[in-house]
Structure formats: C-alpha cells, structure tokens
Amino acid sequence: MSKSNLGSTFRLSFGAALSMFDFVTDELMNRDYFKSDQVQRAWAMLGMLLANLAVNLAISYLQNRKRGRKAVGKDWLLVLSYLKSGVDAWKVASDSAQDEASVVNAKVGMVFCKSAELVTESIPGTVLQMSAFLSTSKARTGFQVRGALLHRD
C-alpha cells in the first residue's frame, strides 16, 4: 500500500471513529441536560440527533433503493447503529467496486451523509453546547468540555 493511500485510509478511519465517538458524547451531554433541568437544551439536542438520523435514512434509501429491500434494511441498520460512517470510510479507503444497482459511488454517498450530519447535527450541536457552556456559571463536567470541543467533524 502506498504512503498516500495509507494516510488517506488513516484520515478516513480516524474521522469515522471521531463521528461515532461524537454520538456517544452527544448522548452523555443529553443525559446531563435532563439531569440538570436544562430540558429545552436536551430536547433540542435530541431533535438534532433525530433529524440527522432521518436525513441519513433518507439518503441511504435513495442510494440503495434499486438494490432491493434487503440492501436498504441492512444500510438502515448501519445508520441506526451509527456505524455507517465507518463502513463508508472502509469502502472509500479500500476502493471497493460500486454495485451496479447503487445510485452513487461510496465516496459520493459518504460526502452526502457527512454533509447532512454537519447541517443537521454537528454545527447546531456545537452552537447549542457552546451556548450552554458559556451561559452556566457552575463548574463544568468533563463531558461538557469534551462534548463542546470534540463536536466538530
């Protein structure tokens, strides 16, 4: 494997792992919001996560609809388990062949999904967490600091 392919594979894999870790920190922040009576922020964060899921499910359906219900269902399970970014990164890094029935190739599909995540969850979530971080005078937990800093993709 050439050095540039190895670097590209590392960046894709690291980005996918960071995206999956981001979901965990979002859920932990959501739990903290509910526990500390910041219910509006908790519902806003949950809404962003659900919007991200809904848009990614729609993208997955549009990308795989010609491959059949089984392929759509398999891809939906990847989306719902937040493993889709990792699988997409692997497909792009390994330069796997495109299925003829697939509407777009793996790289374009990954760009669509990451763009949807940025618009529906990452950018609004960063704004929400930073506003919570700056507006409270209480001591901040480690999850609040990590969540605010690592929320970007």
pLDDT tens per residue, range 53-109: 999 999 999 988 888 899 899 999 999 988 888 788 778 777 766 667 677 777 888
Quote the pTM value. Answer: 0.76
Please report, rounded to a whole number, the percentage of residues in the chain having pLDDT higher than 70: 82
Instruction: Domain count for the chain, please give it.
Output: 1
pLDDT band at 141 (very low <50, low <70, confident <90, very high): low
Q: Which domain holds residue 110?
A: 3-150
Closest listed residue to residue 14, CA positions, set 99, 109, 93, 130: 93
Question: What is the rounded average pLDDT for all residues in the chain?
Answer: 80
- Which residues does 14 contact at the CB level (< 8 Å), separation at least 6? none
